[in-house]
Amino acid sequence: MLDSLRDGLQAAVKKLVGASAVDEGAVKEFVRDLQRALIQADVNVKLALEVTERVQRRALEEKPSPGVTKKDQVVSILYEEIVRMMGGEGGPKMDKGRLNLIVMLGVQGSGKTTMTAKLAHFYAKRGFRVGVVAADTFRPGAVAQLTTLAASSPGVEVFSNEKEKDPVKIAREGRKRFEGNKNLVIVDTAGRHKEEKGLLKEMKDVVGEVKPDATILVIDGTIGQQCYNQAMAFHQTAPVGGIAITKLDGTAKGGGAIAASAATGAKVFFIGTGERIDDLEEFAPTRFVGRLLGMGDLKSLMDMVRQAEVEVDEKAMQRVMSGKMTMDDLLAQFEQMKKFGSLKKVLDHIPGVSGSLNAEELDKVEGRLAVYKSIIQSMTKDERTDPQTIGSSRLRRIAKGSGRTEKDVRELLSRYKQMKSVVKASKGREFRQMVRRMGGE
Ligand SMILES: Nc1nc2c(ncn2[C@@H]2O[C@H](COP(=O)(O)OP(=O)(O)OP(=O)(O)O)[C@@H](O)[C@H]2O)c(=O)[nH]1
Ligand SMILES: [Mg+2]
């Protein structure tokens, strides 16, 4: 599934990661590769340009956080921008304590009836009392189709009235029938040809009658570029609450999912991956994009990068950069480094994007950090702020207090000095090198 988009994006990422340096030229080439990959995968041209434009601007303007290489940063930006374009995580808001109403919309053959049955099954399994309403009076055999599909999920009840030709009335009757004894009602509607104004009007009337909590627009994932315009047309008639993309098991290129969600601002809630009733996946953009980019656990990587970013104390950073580092700052830096230690583990799981610190170096650092930490904790407040006041008698006291040797204390003091000058000289650029020095000799 989604082979074209995945191959295209992965090739672009691979090329970037293989580049000797990520300079402006490399970023621009990366962006061109992305554009090609997105457009070839049916993402609408305007949208592809928009997203790659953002990637380019951020890649050129933003600095990577400490401990993150430029390459990793650029790949994370791409990831974030695609996820953003897709509107983030989500599904319809459901509450078992009330009647939840969903109306399915979509053109002919998009997979509405199948999706209706899949959703009924999905929510019935999760303890909902589900009723479905067959409000498709256009397609011969529509009621039989829905009844047959729904029959494979016990507990799901189907309402139909084959004598009634007005879908609005059927919707009203169905709603009445299920009110009080169901907590989820899904209305399947007719889909005629997409150009037909009648469909949009009928849909508007049904939505007006049922007043659903959410409309779910069903889009055939194999229709490619048309996804965007189709989603847009529906959205202008009745606000689309969420999207279900079907037939992503076949030759679909996947760009449609991105385009439909961008056109409506609505999230993709579900994807259909086959004709069977349980060929349904809840859609998670982070996982979807992670899969596209071929990165297993990219989300946890992102979470850690973000966490590390949040916890960098800006003032402390300023002090460190300007050479006025205290022992407390140093201690805070140590804590940061430990995080990079675990970050490294995540980076290792990602092919081609691993960081440049090796595990042995980090282990050594971690061992020494524990020693240094206990020493700093045995210092007085004044000593921490101004370690130069530590003469030989204080040094003895600190060693004793921390249960470490005087040699350890001297080592820490000399590391401190060394670090202070290194950091000052490089203005923090050489953070990684600094970590290496800490593990030192
Ligand atoms: N491979 C595959 N086929 C699907 C999927 N979803 C639906 N289909 C098939 O697509 C065809 C149309 O599906 P329907 O559910 O009848 O579509 P519809 O939107 O209700 O069609 P109308 O009622 O005529 O507007 C059927 O043959 C389904 O079996 C899917 O996720 N994967
Ligand atoms: Mg149907």
Mean pLDDT for back-to-back runs of 10 residues, the chain (441 residues): 70 81 92 90 82 95 83 85 76 89 92 96 94 90 92 91 92 94 94 68 87 92 78 83 86 68 82 90 77 54 48 58 72 64 43 42 67 90 89 94 93 81 54 44 31
Domain boundaries, the chain: 3-88, 100-283, 312-439
Which residue minimizes the CA distance to atom 6 of ligand 1?
A: 111
Candidate CATH numbers 2.160.10.10, 3.30.160.250, 3.30.930.10, 1.10.260.30; the one for domain 312-439: 1.10.260.30
- Residue 329: alpha-carbon gap to chain centroid: 33
Q: How many Cβ atoms are within 10 Å of 382's Cβ, its own excluded?
A: 11
Does 246 contact ligand 1 (Cβ within 6 A)? yes
Give the model's pLDDT for residue 350.
37
Give the model's pLDDT for residue 234.
83
The token pair at 416 is: 């401190």
Query: Largest alpha-carbon pair distance within the chain?
Result: 100
Does 402 contact ligand 1 (Cβ within 6 A)? no
* CA–CA separation, 340 and 68 (whole Å): 9
* CA–CA separation, 161 and 179 (whole Å): 17
Measure 46 CA to ligand 2 centroid, in angstroms: 32
Give the model's pLDDT for residue 431.
43
Residue written as token pair 């290194």? 422
Candidate CATH numbers 3.40.50.300, 1.10.10.10, 3.30.930.10, 1.20.120.140; the one for domain 3-88: 1.20.120.140
Check if CATH label 3.40.50.300 holds for domain 100-283: yes
Give the torsion sign (CA, 428, 431, 436, 439): positive
Q: Which ligand is nearest to the CA of 143?
A: 2
Which residue minimizes the CA distance to atom 14 of ligand 1?
A: 111
Contact assessment for residue 171 and residue 225, using Cβ atoms and an 8 Å cutoff: no
User: Which of 114, 122, 160 is the best mutation target for the ligand 1 pocket, counting ligand atoms within 8 Å of the beta carbon and taking the most?
Assistant: 114
Q: Is 131 helix (H, G, I), strand (E, B) or coil?
A: strand
Contact assessment for residue 323 and residue 419, using Cβ atoms and an 8 Å cutoff: no
| Domain pair 3-88 / 100-283, same fold | no
Q: How many Cβ atoms are within 10 Å of 435's Cβ, its own excluded?
A: 21
- Specify the ligand 1 atom closest to the Cα of 250: 1
Does 91 contact ligand 1 (Cβ within 6 A)? no
Give the model's pLDDT for residue 252.
60
0.85 exceeded by pTM:
no
The token pair at 437 is: 């020095």
